[in-house]
Amino acid sequence: MHTVELPARGATTSPSVRALPQHCTVCGAEFEAAPEAICGSCLGPLEPMYPASRRLPGRAEIATRVHSMWRYREWLPFEGTPTLSQDTGFTPLVDAPRLADKLGVAKLWIKNDAVSHPSLSFKDRVVASAINAAKALGLETVGCASTGNLANAVAAQAARAGLPAWIFIPDNLEQAKVLGTAVYGPNLVRVRGHYDDVNRLCAQLADRFGWGIVNVNLRGYYGEGSKTMGFEIAEQLGWRFPSAVVVPMAGGSLLTKLHKAFGELRDAGLVTDEAPRLYGAQASGCNPITRLVESGGETLVPQIPSTIAKSIAIGNPADGVFAARAMRGTGGWSAAVSDDAIVAAIRLLAETTGIFTETAGGATVASALALAEQGRFGRDDEVVLCITGNGLKTLEAISDSIADSPVIAPRVREVAALVEAVG
């Protein structure tokens, strides 16, 4: 591991790094770098614009760089060298042969963002990108509307950057998501309602208070951080693609950005394989993107979420239409699974791979099993499951399903009785 410089509180002025300008992904209008995420003319989403002439590194040059998401810095939305959250990314890609057998595929790997640094979910990647954008744009306060993991990531990364944070969450989140945010000392506000209500509130707050709300007015810069999970999968496989990737979906941003990342690797000549088929995973209690894929339409129908998979419970997903297009366009599909299936899959992943994931990861594993059941994978498939969050954050979800452990006196005789009972 490398060491990390922690900047002093307030040391965020005179940016040595510039955020790239943005353009509208719908009408193409161009905008100077700013905390704006929506096109002034057509309301389409904005995305950073990379200079066509920029020099891209090859495989060998990337190999010499530090193991973090910043080894792919040419594909992140900055000019100059970002300084905050340098140690996020480059999580393990873990071979999971026993789960491959369950799915009936040739190979299966877990991309394990359950151990993402610093806050144990893939949201560290998007926040690492957004917080550097906030700094570059001279914003002195950051914030987010969160289903839990984003709150953890913003609170942790704002704390070490010395930036005040305003964090808004639904009032019914898991204890670890709440305490695991509050411990970093942000302004944490619980809002009566669902994520979609929290998000609507934050859209009104960003302009009013001049905050950088990472997934609202900094969303264009935020989303680019997700691409690094895709770059890492390809590099960790030896600069090639798996044939299929299964991705949990909340707003649909991660799946959309993985699609973009795989396209960028091909454009750069770093990988020459055909891009993987992309499969989405949701809970049945909040499955608007899966419904959209199944319907074949272009119009997403919002829902009121009701599932234990709170981190992916977004009823009106901002990138749902783009995610659905990416799944259909790559020959993939989407699945949604019950809360019982999510709990069973959390245990299956733990028992077969030694990885403890949260409810979103349970939805991913259970969806992969459902897709296999539907015959969507072949014997030759090489599949990556994106495990995006840590099981210690959603203990409530499994506590009822795990049997109590025996309590004994410290005597060999009592252990012998247990060994005999186990057989």
Ligand X SMILES: *Cc1c(COP(=O)(O)O)cnc(C)c1O
Residue 311 within binding range of ligand X, rule CB under 6 A? yes
Given the complex with ligand X, which of 161 and 385 has the nearer CB atom?
Answer: 385
Residue 312 within binding range of ligand X, rule CB under 6 A? yes
Q: How far is the CB of 83 from ligand X (least distance, A)?
A: 25
The one segment of 44-52, 104-112, 246-254, 268-276 that binds ligand X by CB under 6 A: 246-254
Pairing status of strand 142-145 against strand 382-387: unpaired
Q: How far is the CB of 221 from ligand X (least distance, A)?
A: 14
Sequence-distant (6+) residues with CB within 8 A of 421 are: none
Amino acid at 328: R
Residue 252 within binding range of ligand X, rule CB under 6 A? yes
Q: How far is the CB of 258 from Zn ion (least distance, A)?
A: 24
Amino acid at 405: S
Please say whether the beta carbons of 252 and 322 come within 8 A. Answer: yes
- The tokens describing 418, both together, are 């247990």
DSSP H/E element including 161: helix 149-161
Given the complex with ligand X, which of 109 and 122 has the nearer CB atom?
Answer: 122
80 secondary structure, DSSP code: S
Given the complex with ligand X, which of 252 and 285 has the nearer CB atom?
Answer: 252
Given the complex with ligand X, which of 169 and 270 has the nearer CB atom?
Answer: 169
Residue 360 within binding range of Zn ion, rule CB under 5 A? no
Q: How far is the CB of 256 from ligand X (least distance, A)?
A: 8
| Number of residues lying near Zn ion (CB under 5 A) | 8
Beta strands across the sheet bearing 22-24 = 30-31, 22-24, 46-48
Given the complex with ligand X, which of 12 and 367 has the nearer CB atom?
Answer: 367
Q: How far is the CB of 37 from Zn ion (least distance, A)?
A: 12
Total length of the chain: 423
Given the complex with ligand X, which of 250 and 335 has the nearer CB atom?
Answer: 250
45 secondary structure, DSSP code: B
250 binds, among ligand X, Zn ion, none (CB under 5 to 8 A by kind): ligand X
φ, ψ dihedrals at 93, nearest 5°: -110, 115
Q: How far is the C-alpha of 146 from the C-alpha of 122, rounded, in Å?
A: 13
Amino acid at 373: E
Q: How far is the CB of 201 from ligand X (least distance, A)?
A: 18
Amino acid at 399: S
Member of 88, 132, 149, 353 binding ligand X (CB under 6 A): 149
Structure-token match 């997903």, residue found:
317
44 binds, among Zn ion, ligand X, none (CB under 5 to 8 A by kind): Zn ion
List 121's β-bridge partners, or say none. 389
Q: How far is the C-alpha of 113 from the C-alpha of 393, rounded, in Å?
A: 13
CB atoms < 10 A from the CB of 269, how many? Answer: 10
Residue 254 within binding range of ligand X, rule CB under 6 A? yes
Q: How far is the C-alpha of 310 from the C-alpha of 195, rounded, in Å?
A: 9
39 binds, among ligand X, Zn ion, none (CB under 5 to 8 A by kind): Zn ion
Please say whether the beta carbons of 303 and 331 come within 8 A. Answer: no
Q: How far is the C-alpha of 214 from the C-alpha of 193, rounded, in Å?
A: 20
| Number of residues lying near ligand X (CB under 6 A) | 16
* Binding to ligand X in span 351-410, by CB under 6 A: 358, 360, 388-389
The one segment of 234-242, 248-256, 270-278, 371-379 that binds ligand X by CB under 6 A: 248-256
Per DSSP, the three-state class of 119 is coil
Given the complex with ligand X, which of 240 and 328 has the nearer CB atom?
Answer: 328
DSSP H/E element including 421: helix 412-422
Per-position x/- string for 14-53, each x denoting binding to Zn ion as judged by CB under 5 A, each - no binding: ----------x-xx-x---------x-xx-x---------
CA proximity to 296, closest of 322, 318, 316, 324: 324
303 binds, among Zn ion, ligand X, none (CB under 5 to 8 A by kind): none
| Residues at the site binding ligand X, with contacts judged by CB under 6 A | 121, 123, 149, 248-254, 311-312, 358, 360, 388-389
| Residues at the site binding Zn ion, with contacts judged by CB under 5 A | 24, 26-27, 29, 39, 41-42, 44
